[in-house]
Structure 1
Amino acid sequence: MTEHGDLLDFPGADELIAAGGVAPPAPEVVASAREAVASAARRDTVVVPLRGHVVPRRRRLLVAAAAVAAIAAGAVAYPVLDLGDEPAATASAAQFLNDMAEVAADTPTARTPYWKVRLETVNQDDGRRSATTFFDRAGRIWSVDADGTVHRPPAGKDSKLKKWPVGQKWLTWPALDQLPTGQKALTALFPKDAENRFDQVTILLEDSPASPALRATLFRILADTPGVRLVGDVKDSKGRPGVAVEMTRKAGFSTGPEKGVAFRTTDRYVVAPDTGLLLEATHKIRGQDLAADRYTWLEVGPAARVG
């Protein structure tokens, strides 16, 4: 292959080579994976404008196609590096998150008046619940019951607004559009400690109408956040394939029989590699038998109307 050297010219290639081989997948799976990559390669000539420059779309398309193909073939899409007990942002986690930044940047910009979020939650207190909400650019929130009944937001000051945290502020949709998309400038607005920064950035990636450029920068900030670890290829509770990253932190001290003993929690996020959308989050107390709280995003995106 004359392009062998070029194809392996990316971060993590040496780790992939050193990892050795895996059991061969079924022929039909290999064929499907090859077609996914070939389909992206056929679009090699498509370009998009970016700040006055012409940037080839090939790499972004191949990033998504290759990630999906690797999952379909049962191979490891990104190398997981064993660093022992060191909870550092591994090279493989940074590589994956930077790749998702490219995928996010290639997403079409939404120009609709509403944003729709369909979410399923499971926790110890409330059991399993589903909710469908819409909000407009002013932040006003509509909820929709399973039977289609629409609940309008109250008028005036009683109307609750949808907002997202950025540093010490809570921002509505228009304010998100005013945020800088340069990584250094945007990072400066978030908390300096890694855990709080991880929390705020992932909240924005969960369900906000952040622009493609803003989502791309959020992924790059995650890639530079210490403590983020790559889990690898997984499926969420709905059977959808994705790639998981997680962060473990000291959350507090037990008040039970082992009063005063520090406990840790692990927050895991499953990302769809073809879109960069967050599919699911689980928050679990390590060392306890309690099931993890789960948040599954069934639908997140622009909407032309409520209902």
Structure 2
Amino acid sequence: MTHKDQDIHVLDFPGATALKDAGRTEPPDPAVLATAQSLVRRAIAADAEHAVPATASDTVVVAPRFGRRRLVACAAAVAAVAAGVAVLPVVGVGSDPAASASAADLFNTMADRAASGSQRSAPYWKTTVRTWVEGDKPHTDNTYLSRSKLVIKTQNGRTVTKKAPPGGVRWMVGNRQVSWDALDKLPTRPDALRRVLSAGAEGSAAAEQTVRQSGELLTEAPVSPRLRATLFRVLADTPGAKVTERVKDGAGRIGTEISWRWSKNFDHSPHSPNWIVRPSDGQILECNNVWEDDPERMAGRSTYLYTGPADSVG
């Protein structure tokens, strides 16, 4: 690759040789260089960390909001991928297309922000979600999850309480179920956590399972800042993500849309999921979905107005 003077950046990624052989190109996009720096930082961090095995004998209670069986279909029409987006690939899974460099850079930036954050301990994990499904009116509910029960306060004033079975609430992670206290025992090395999340699936289904379960943990579970950062680093190396800047969520907040495209009929769902995130703090503002055969048609949305610790049900 030629430049104004000489190349000062080492190109060491899949396709670098082909790019060089293609002749003169424009100077590299700053996002590409930022991605390379993020990858180096991530490799150093991964080398310094130690994996901790997850527990194996748990029973799930928490119904995944991102799951296909209870998919809360959500979202405005999918915006086209921003013009000029970097397309340098990162390592994919199987034959699937890898995430774009802009998606990898976005996830690694959010990982850095999450790692530097803090989270206080509290007896409840609260989510305030505004839900809209095609053909229905939007409604806002507050959900309070503790180790022993789930309390839902609906917009119409109802309070629904569900007790957890023996062993407490659980989350599905890969092909196993993990309790509240066992969340802190999940691996915090990206490669090790990916193996746990993708367990029981192969090829594109493994990547899709990784994305879905990561989304559930990032919104529905009291994960530590360290685990949150690792989840973002796993997503940075997960194929299929495209980024669109400055997209509004259902509450009118501006964020960055991350679009995922599942394999045909994955988990028997006709939807393609999108997230709207706030890069400044790594919060998922909204899960939104469009119809696979009609991306201009809105299927619904789940807009997260609050996700975080709570001292009481109120």
Instruction: Indicate whether the TM-score tops 0.5.
Output: yes
How far residue 268 of structure 1 moved from its aligned partner, in angstroms, is 0.8
The residue that corresponds to 1:283 in the other structure is 289
Structure showing greater relative contact order (alpha-carbon pairs closer than 8 Å, 6 or more residues apart): 2
Distance 1:284 1:189, change over 3 A: same
Provide the C-alpha distance between the structure 2 equivalents of 1:263 and 1:145, rounded to a whole number of angstroms. 27
Residues 261-276 of structure 1: pairs in structure 2 closer than 5 A? 265-276=271-282
Task: List per-residue Cα deviations over 1:232-280 (Å, max 9, x = no partner).
Answer: 2322121112111111123329xxxxxxxx9974211011112111000
State how many pairs are aligned: 229
**Residue type of the alignment partner of 2:130:** E
**Residue type of the alignment partner of 1:119:** V
Say if 2:25 is the partner of 1:15: no
* Residue 197 (structure 1) aligned to one of 210, 214, 221: 210
Provide the C-alpha distance between the structure 1 equivalents of 2:254 and 2:207, rounded to a whole number of angstroms. 27
How far residue 81 of structure 1 moved from its aligned partner, in angstroms, is 2.5
How far residue 222 of structure 1 moved from its aligned partner, in angstroms, is 0.3
Say if 2:93 is the partner of 1:80: no
**Residue type of the alignment partner of 2:125:** W
Provide the C-alpha distance between the structure 2 equivalents of 1:17 and 1:152, rounded to a whole number of angstroms. 47
TM-score, reference length from structure 1: 0.65
Residues 55-70 of structure 1: pairs in structure 2 closer than 5 A? none
The residue that corresponds to 2:121 in the other structure is 111
CA RMSD of aligned residues (A): 3.5
**Residue type of the alignment partner of 2:248:** K
Provide the C-alpha distance between the structure 2 equivalents of 1:232 and 1:149, rounded to a whole number of angstroms. 38
**Residue type of the alignment partner of 2:290:** K
Residues 186-265 of structure 1: pairs in structure 2 closer than 5 A? 186-191=193-198, 192=202, 193-252=206-265, 265=271
Structure 1: gaps (5+ residues): 1-8, 19-50, 53-75, 254-261
Moved over 6 A (4+): 76-79
Matched residue SS, 1:243 = strand
TM-score, reference length from structure 2: 0.63
Provide the C-alpha distance between the structure 2 equivalents of 1:200 and 1:120, rounded to a whole number of angstroms. 21
Structure 2: gaps (5+ residues): 1-8, 12-26, 33-47, 50-80, 89-95
Contact 1:117 1:133 (8 Å CA) reproduced: yes
**Residue type of the alignment partner of 1:306:** V
